[in-house]
Amino acid sequence: MTKGDWVRLLMHLPWGILGVLLITVNAPAGVICCLGTLAYEAFNDWRKHDESYKDVLGIVWGFFIGGIIIWGFRL
């Protein structure tokens, strides 16, 4: 991955963490927001061919990291 890819990934980490927090507060709203963001990125990649799948990777990593943080607080 290039430096630009890492920057792009790090820019989208907060969206994944926010998604996890939303799901813990209100599961339906959190799922809708997460799916909406992923659909947006998919359509962006499909229409513009701007490699938005890299953004999705950042969101997924953020979701994973947020899940670990929430899990850690619940222990």
The domain tally of the chain equals 1
The predicted structure's pLDDT at residue 2: 87
pTM: 0.82
Helix count and strand count (H, E) for the chain: 3, 0
Ordered per-residue pLDDT tens for the chain, 75 residues: 789 889 988 999 999 999 999 999 999 998 898 889 888 888 888 888 888 888 888 999 999 999 999 999 987
The predicted structure's pLDDT at residue 4: 87
Are 30 and 23 in contact, with CB atoms under 8 Å apart?
yes
Domain hosting 27: range is 3-74
